[in-house]
Amino acid sequence: MTPDLIRLFRQCTLIELNHAYEELMPVWTGHGKFFCSHAEDYSAGDGNYNCQLSLGDHCGTHVDAPAHFIEGGKTVEQIDARQLIGRGRCLDMSCLAEDSDITVQMIQAWEADKGEIVAGDIVIFRTGYDKRWRCRPHHAGFLQNWPGLSGEGANYLIGKGVTVLGTDAMSLDRYSNDAHPAHFAVLGSDCLIVENLANLEHLPSEFVFMALPLRIKGASASPIRAVALLASPLQAEQNGQGAFSDEVSPRPAETA
């Protein structure tokens, strides 16, 4: 089984779904920022190079554990990592107005066109907001007015057996919804939320999603390395990504 599995992976096309971790990267207001300092360096005569990292657990592309919104909920080391491996379904909602809800009716219309979402699917919403990702001080556009999943939409997907929901925006809930109904619905059902994904424009409606969190005891979230696997080079080429490419597509130059 192991050689067959390795051979299968090598035949797939890998698409990077992460933003790079770097200093001045955008973070939620009040959350811990990302810092990378040189603990040892060749220039200092240390004979090697290694770094010391400091970051909030919701920095960059990450997964929320239930404890983030649910008192007594699972922390990140308690979640089953296998939950973050499965069939991905990418719903393109990039045409939505700013700060609008993704509704049950929109999801059902997508299913009528692309196929039913079933239990175990990992549902990813493409809002297009990953293209607004900028480092500080040019980050304001990414931190405001994104569309998000309604509470009813979250409950509809949970009812179908979906246990992981993701977005390329800063939050699964829309920007102005301070009640966070999608967070409470998803995390309150012992499910997971993935946020700040990237490069979703390269994904078909169906693919393999894989992401693994760090095993941080007591944490409310963890950085992840998220990737999509496409079944064939042809499938990748049809979606604008070269075969066997793991490069992040270039972003526009930063503007003030």
Residue numbers annotated as active site: 68
Query: Which positions ≥6 away from 151 have C-beta within 8 Å?
Result: 179, 181, 182, 184, 185
Strands 13-16 and 101-102: unpaired
Task: Give the C-alpha separation, 113 to 129, whole Å.
Answer: 23
SS3 149: strand
Task: Give the C-alpha separation, 204 to 167, whole Å.
Answer: 15
Q: Count of CB atoms within 10 A of residue 142's CB? A: 20
Phi, psi of 213, deg, nearest 5: -85, 160
Q: What is the 3-state secondary structure (H, E, C) of 18-53?
A: CCCCCCCCCCCCCCCCCEEEEEECHHHCCCCCEEEE
Task: Give the C-alpha separation, 122 to 209, whole Å.
Answer: 7
Q: What is the dihedral of CA 91, 16, 163, 65, to 10 degrees?
A: -130
Whether 143 contacts 170, CB under 8 Å: yes
Task: Give the C-alpha separation, 147 to 19, whole Å.
Answer: 19
